[in-house]
Amino acid sequence: MTDELSFRAERSFKAITPESWSGLAGASRSGKLLPYNPFVSHAYLSALEESGSATDRTGWLGNHLLLETANGALIGAIPGYLKNHSQGEYVFDHGWADAFERAGGSYYPKLQCAVPFTPATGPRLMVAEDQNRAAIQPALAESLKEVTRQLGISSAHITFLPKDEVSVFETDGYLHRTDQQFHFINEGYANHDAFLETLASRKRKTLKKERRAALDNGITIDWLTGSDLTENIWDQFFAFYMDTGSRKWGRPYLTRKFYSLIGERMADDVLLVMAKREGRYVAGAINFIGGDALYGRHWGCIEDHPFLHFEVCYHQAIDFALAKGLARVEAGAQGEHKLARGYLPVTTHSAHFIAHPGLRRAVGDYLERERQEVEQMGEILSEHSPFRKGERQDN
């Protein structure tokens, strides 16, 4: 890097213009180098902050690393947050924190480079479309280590990063961690029935029966996006989110204002799959529409109906992806029940810089074993996919 370039950390997206951020690959639909990822858009990240969902009050203090030219042009960035807990991340390091604290260290605060509350892979070493990625990405990775040292904190964690960024971090001495999600891969199916034809007969019959049963009791399904996303619709969906989130997590992460902000700023990137019974919505799932993928996030309901969760979250997402020609559906964290519905195991990646040598050695040993276990589990799960033998290639 030349002396004309400089790094700085920015606390708030209010100080970063949407125009400059949209020049980073993957952050805008107008980009050419990477498919659009809605979660790294200025609209999404700023909505998390401005809504009060991800702020210093909730333990997500912005610490976004920016690489700029002498005239202030943004050419590289890593979205990041200083955190005093490990909630809302979906890559679990509570055991690391406990061990370090018992040994007399201070694990928190730590630097988390991710999209809050969003277990979806996307660019982390973000580089402007017109810049040399091979030169800038290593500089970003190294600068992140330097920031960690300067702040005197325990560690930096980059989660849900793309596979092609892993080598950049590993070359710079970061530890590599893997995990697993379940994604639906569109093999060019004309529609959902064409997809079902690739399944083993028994699995196909089971899913058809499941879809019919989900719509018993007069339930119908609506796809809402763009101008359909009125404040009244958001009120109804937020009631679902609060009901389910309160039972699952104790305290839901996202505020009501967050939904209004994404409705204002990125409504065309949002799909609500809403289930209606007797003239009112009783359940729904929110998805985000990327350049080549549909990203399922969370769902909620105010009435319980058999199989409705599977229909709203998984089957309808496949229907939409096929209708829009999207390459895959990423259905969020965990959930081996997705396998039977055509979602296959896919490896996810994270990178970790641990400042303390002793903790780094211990975590490194653990991650080596964990990567082997993740790989073995993926192989076992793939053997139990619902597809007919030889019908499709592994992804």
Q: Which residue reads 């990646």 in tokens?
A: 349
The CATH number for 109's domain is 3.40.630.30
Same domain, 161 and 79: yes
CA distance 193 to 188: 12
> Could you tell me if residue 19 is inside a domain?
yes
Does residue 247 surpass a pLDDT of 70?
Answer: no
Same domain, 215 and 164: no
Respond yes or no on whether the N-terminal peptide bond of residue 109 is cis (omega within 30° of 0): yes
Q: Residue type at 336?
A: E
Same domain, 163 and 18: yes
Same domain, 176 and 202: no
Does residue 175 surpass a pLDDT of 50?
Answer: yes
Average pLDDT over residues 339-363: 97
Same domain, 350 and 303: no
Does residue 64 surpass a pLDDT of 60?
Answer: yes
Tell me what pLDDT residue 118 has: 97
Same domain, 44 and 161: yes
Average pLDDT over residues 185-214: 95
- pLDDT band, residue 393 (cuts 50/70/90): very low
Which one, of 69, 68, 51, lies nearest residue 60 by Cα? 51
- pLDDT band, residue 334 (cuts 50/70/90): confident
Question: How would you write the chain as a 3-class SS string?
Answer: CCCCCEEEEECCHHHCCHHHHCCECCCCCCCCCCCCCHHHCHHHHHHHHHCCCCCHHHCEEECEEEEECCCCCEEEEECCEEECCCCCCCCCCHHHHHHHHHCCCCCCCEEEECCCCCCCCCCCCEEECCCCHHHHHHHHHHHHHHHHHHHCCCEEEEEEECHHHHHHHHHCCCEEEEEEEEEEECCCCCCHHHHHCCECHHHHHHHHHHHHHHCCCCCEEEEECHHHCCHHHHHHHHHHHHHHHHHHHCCCCCCHHHHHHHHHHCHHHEEEEEEEECCEEEEEEEEEECCCEEEEEEEEECCCCCCHHHHHHHHHHHHHHHHHCCCEEEEEECCHHHHHHCCEEEEEEEEEEECCHHHHHHHHHHHHHHHHHHHHHHHHHHHCCCECCCCCCCC
- pLDDT band, residue 244 (cuts 50/70/90): confident
Does residue 272 surpass a pLDDT of 80?
Answer: yes
- 257-269 per-position pLDDT tens digit: 999 999 999 999 9
CA distance 366 to 360: 10
Average pLDDT over residues 193-204: 95
Residue 344 pairs in a beta bridge with 183
In the chain, % of residues over pLDDT 90:
92
Does residue 377 surpass a pLDDT of 90?
Answer: yes
- 130-163 per-position pLDDT tens digit: 999 999 999 999 999 999 999 999 999 999 999 9
> Could you tell me if residue 25 is inside a domain?
yes
Domain count, the chain: 2
Does residue 250 surpass a pLDDT of 90?
Answer: no
Look up residue 320 and give its two tokens. 């939409």
> Could you tell me if residue 332 is inside a domain?
no
User: Average pLDDT over the chain, rounded to whole?
Assistant: 95
Same domain, 165 and 43: yes
Phi, psi of 156 (to 5 degrees): -130, 135
> Could you tell me if residue 175 is inside a domain?
yes
Average pLDDT over residues 192-201: 94
- pLDDT band, residue 47 (cuts 50/70/90): very high
> Could you tell me if residue 379 is inside a domain?
yes
Tell me what pLDDT residue 356 has: 97
Does residue 352 surpass a pLDDT of 90?
Answer: yes
The answer to whether the CB of 395 falls within 8 A of the CB of 185 is yes
Angle at 315 between CA 314 and CA 321, to 5 degrees: 90
Tell me what pLDDT residue 152 has: 97
In the chain, % of residues over pLDDT 70:
96
Tell me what pLDDT residue 3 has: 56
> Could you tell me if residue 276 is inside a domain?
yes
Which residues, in sequence order, are CB contacts of 340 under 8 Å at separation 6+?
A: 203, 206, 207, 386
- Look up the domain containing 319 and give its range: 187-326
CA distances from 175 to 109, 172, 192, 236, 350 (A): 19, 9, 40, 43, 8
Same domain, 81 and 204: no
- pLDDT band, residue 394 (cuts 50/70/90): very low
Average pLDDT over residues 317-337: 95
Does residue 384 surpass a pLDDT of 90?
Answer: no
| pTM tops 0.85, yes or no | yes
Which residues, in sequence order, are CB contacts of 58 under 8 Å at separation 6+?
A: 52, 253
CA distance 47 to 61: 14
Handedness of CA 185, 186, 187, 192 (dihedral sign): positive
- pLDDT band, residue 246 (cuts 50/70/90): low
Same domain, 168 and 203: no
Same domain, 283 and 371: no
Tell me what pLDDT residue 390 has: 60
- pLDDT band, residue 395 (cuts 50/70/90): very low
Same domain, 124 and 172: yes
- pLDDT band, residue 249 (cuts 50/70/90): low
Strands 6-10 and 293-301: unpaired
Same domain, 194 and 316: yes
The answer to whether the CB of 174 falls within 8 A of the CB of 354 is no
> Could you tell me if residue 339 is inside a domain?
no
